[in-house]
Chain A
């Protein structure tokens, strides 16, 4: 008779928070890669900048609605409790969201900016003062935002990892696992968005950039997940017991088949297959649209499932009740 204190809204929130972090990171990186002082991936950077703030903003909204007393959420900002990941995270998330919105603003085209301000009543003089071109600040904003985006990615893992009562979470690998999963979801979401944007068809070098980024992040994630399991098996009994949740227990199929295989290995294989000829055989990168769409979709699916498995399985894991599972 176990009830879950945290449900699907928390899963969605952790996923969306990570997604924004990943989007910002990929967009910021794209902004920095230049040839002759001109960003080669300007379109990627712009798309990422336009998308980055929304998931985290929606996710935070959902989290607030999930509170027992949602209108008391402001109390989060009346206190700073350094031992509470949620307290630190609230500040981190707020600052990051603000930076992401400023970054979005810096990437607006002039007519878009004018259009937005044309909707603001003319009497709101203070607001109209903000109608300035800050596109020259892009690099600086990205620089400031990088640590915050990584912080948010890590935070979504630390929120769970810091809970000593739940052996499934309480290892020092969960934070990195969530970070790399967030970064990979971000680049996959960016790839998906660019593929779906028919007005500005994605170019081959852009697909290649995002696919490469994703391969790096998925590989890193994989090399965290394997040690997580191996290390857990070599750990204390409580951790070993917790791992039975995905090694024979109720979350085994969703972990191995849906998350690890479909959400991680299959997209990795597709992306490596796509990249291989262009990297090792000197062929041109052909970049099949369908392959890229499938891979990006699967990565997002996997990223969501990782949060799902951790939020739910983690709450079942415990120091004393695990016996009931057998």
Chain B
């Protein structure tokens, strides 16, 4: 059997998000994220005034960019990208210069004060490698998040992106972000 290329991505149906933050909590527990740091967040956007008012919740985390500027600027190669698109930090190589944090247009990274290294969402690569889905995706009660392999024509993510309209955030950064927000 030919080895197929993989490209992991996340589709987010933000209209379904109710800001319960279960994903944030699940991520913190799964990845032992230090107090005060977060790997994912819910952006809140309010518009208008009562009674003509709308509020939009938009989950965000590392976009696992196709052409990640964090990887480009890292002087030691600690920030790197796997063949399947997941962008990771090799903690043993990271010197903690924080250049990658400055260079990430989506402010997806945080500095782990205790370890002196930079960290961020890993798409739960440890789970994905076992065939599981990321913790935030698994836990979301309103099924906002769909994780999958863009190269797999049978994946649900493939179907969604073929049939629904979507946007990516700030494509003008040139990073090729891989979080797809359904419209």
Interface presence of B34 (CB below 8 A):
no
Q: Are A165 and B69 in contact (CB under 8 A)?
A: yes
B residues within 8 A CB of A81? 74-77
Q: Dominant SS at the A interface?
A: loop
For A88, the closest partner residue in chain B by CB is B75
List, in ascending order, chain B residues with CB within 8 A of A83's CB. Answer: 72-73
Which chain B residues numbered 90 to 105 have a C-beta less than 8 Å away from chain A?
93-99, 101-105
Provide the residues of chain B in CB contact with A79, threshold 8 Å. Answer: 75-77
Enumerate 12 A-B pairs (CB-CB under 8 Å) in ascending A order.
A6-B98, A67-B95, A67-B97, A68-B116, A70-B95, A79-B77, A86-B99, A164-B69, A319-B172, A320-B105, A320-B169, A321-B107
Assess the A164–B74 pair: CB atoms within 8 A: no
Interface size on B, residues (CB 8 A): 34
In the bound assembly, the distance between CA atoms of A69 and B118 in angstroms comes to: 11
What distance in Å separates the Cβ of A10 from its nearest Cβ neighbour in chain B? 9
Contact code string A45-75 (vs B, CB < 8 Å = 1, else 0): 0000000000000000000001111101101
Bound complex: CA A74 to CA B143 (Å): 46
Judged by DSSP, the binding face of B is loop
A164 and B174 contacting across the interface, CB-CB below 8 Å: yes
CB–CB A162/B73 < 8 A: yes
Contact A68 B105 (CB under 8 A): no
CB-nearest residue of chain B to A169? B102
Interface check B49, CB cutoff 8 A: no
Closest 8 CB pairs of A and B: A68-B96, A68-B116, A165-B105, A87-B75, A86-B75, A69-B116, A5-B101, A72-B95
Kindly list chain A residues whose C-beta atoms are within 8 Å of the C-beta of B98: 5-6, 68
| B129 contacts chain A at the CB level, 8 A cutoff | no
Of B102, B103, B111, most A-chain CB atoms within 10 Å: B102
Q: Which residues does chain A contribute within 8 Å of B104, judged by CB atoms?
A: 165
B44 within 8 A of A: no
Residues 138-192 (chain A) with a chain B CB within 8 angstroms: 162-166
B102 near A86 with CB under 8 A, answer no
Q: Name which residue of chain A comes closest to B96, CB basis.
A: A68
Q: A68-B111, A69-B96 are in contact. Are A90 and B102 (CB under 8 A)?
A: no
A320 to B95, CA, bound (A): 28
- Contacts A68-B98, A318-B107 aside, 12 further interface pairs with beta carbons under 8 A come to A68-B97, A68-B115, A68-B116, A69-B95, A72-B96, A81-B74, A84-B72, A84-B74, A84-B99, A164-B175, A319-B173, A320-B106
- Closest-by-CB residue of A relative to B112 is A68
Q: Is A319's CB under 8 angstroms from B105's CB?
A: yes
B117 within 8 A of A: yes
Smallest CB separation, B104 vs chain A (Å): 6
Contacts of A321 in B (CB 8 A): 107
Given that A238-B172, A320-B169 are known contacts, is A76 also in contact with B99, CB under 8 Å in the complex? no
A75 near B73 (CB under 8 angstroms)? no
Question: Given A84-B99, A165-B105, A320-B170, are A68 and B77 neighbors across the interface (CB < 8 Å)?
Answer: no
Please give me the residue from chain A that is nearest to B73 by CB atom: A84
A85 within 8 A of B: yes
* B102–A165 CB distance below 8 A: yes
C-alpha gap A164/B117 in the complex (Å)? 22
Alpha-carbon distance between A66 and B107 when the two chains are bound, in angstroms: 20
CA distance A178 to B106 in the complex (A): 27
Per-residue B-contact encoding for A84-96, CB less than 8 Å = 1, 0 else: 1111001000000
The docked-state distance in angstroms from the alpha carbon of A165 to that of B106 is 8
Q: Is the CB of A84 within 8 A of B69?
A: no
Tell me whether A319 and B95 are in contact (CB under 8 A): no
Is there an interface contact between B101 and A84, defined as CB atoms closer than 8 Å?
A: no
- Asked if A226 is an interface residue, CB under 8 A from chain B, the answer is no
Report Cα–Cα, A163/B175, bound state, in Å.
12
Among B69, B99, B101, B118, the one with the most A-chain Cβ atoms within 10 Å of its Cβ is: B99
Does A315 sit within 8 A of B, measured CB to CB? yes
Residues B94 and A68 in contact, CB atoms below 8 Å apart: yes
Q: How far is the CA of A6 from the CA of B74 in the complex (A)?
A: 15
A75 vs B111: C-alpha distance in the bound complex, in angstroms? 19
Interchain CB contact under 8 A, B95 and A76: yes
| Residue in B closest to A66 when the chains form the complex, CB atoms | B97
A164 contact from B94, B99, B105, Cβ within 8 A: B105
Residues of B within 8 Å of A236, CB to CB, are 172
- A86's nearest neighbour on chain B, judged by CB, is B75
A313 CA / B77 CA spacing, docked (Å): 27
Interface string of A310-326 (1 = CB under 8 A from B): 00000100111100000
- What is the CA–CA distance of A319 and B115 in the complex, to the nearest angstrom? 30
List A contacts of B101 (CB < 8 A): 5
- The one of A67, A73, A163 in contact with B73, judged by C-beta atoms closer than 8 angstroms, is A163
